[in-house]
Each structure stands twice: as structure tokens, then as C-alpha cells.
Amino acid sequence: MGKGFWYTTDSGRSPVEEKINELPLPDQAKIYAYIEKLAEFGYRRGVPFVKPMDGKIKELRIPVSPGQYRIFFFFHQGENFYLLHGFLKKTRKTPPKEIDVARNRMKHVLINIGG
């Protein structure tokens, strides 16, 4: 069983968690349930729930009332994971800027944890 960590800025904010908490309560509950399942099943949680995206970055796919919510994350030291970036997917193809945000945040995390 892995443990999830929120990406936090140098000032201590968690943009992923903040975005989730702006959504309607039923969607928040569903997203948090998916995160719990990711912690419980880790690598064994595959498609359609988790999809590889870019190198170590994976995508947690959550159907919500307005469409699809995506959270980019990466596994570190076994099944522990860092939630890097979340957004409501509105297009068929994932916008490159969303992946760029996740890449930059992963670099920030690895620098801060010495990975």
C-alpha cells in the first residue's frame, strides 16, 4: 500500500488540492475516492483508471459530472506517489501545457526530496 503526497509550492500551497476543492462536492468525493484507491492498489491500478503519460508521469482518470478530471502523478520509492497537477479535461487530446506543468512540478519535487 502506497502513500500519496500533494505537490506543494515553496510557500506551502497545494494547487492540486485547491482545484479539487473548488469542484462540486459529489465530484470532490469521487476524486478523493480514486486517490484512495490509487494508494491502496498502486501499480496494480491500470487502464482505464491510470494511464502512462510522459516518462515517469502517469494520469489518474476520473469521470465527473462536467466531463473528465485528470490528475498527473508519479510513483516514487515503491508505491508512494506525488500528485502534481489536476485539471478538467475539455479536449480530446491532453493540452501540452498541462503536461508541462506536471513535468516542472515533478522536477521541483525531486529537487526538494533529493530524488
pLDDT tens for the chain, residues 1 to 115: 778 999 999 999 999 999 999 999 999 999 999 999 999 887 776 667 899 998 999 999 999 987 899 999 999 987 899 999 999 988 888 889 999 999 999 999 999 887 5
Which domains are delineated in the chain?
4-113 (3.30.2310)
pLDDT of residue 47: 67
| pLDDT at residue 42, as a whole number | 78
Q: How far apart are CA 19 and CA 114, in angstroms?
A: 27
Helices (DSSP H) in the chain: which residue ranges? 15-20, 25-41, 96-113
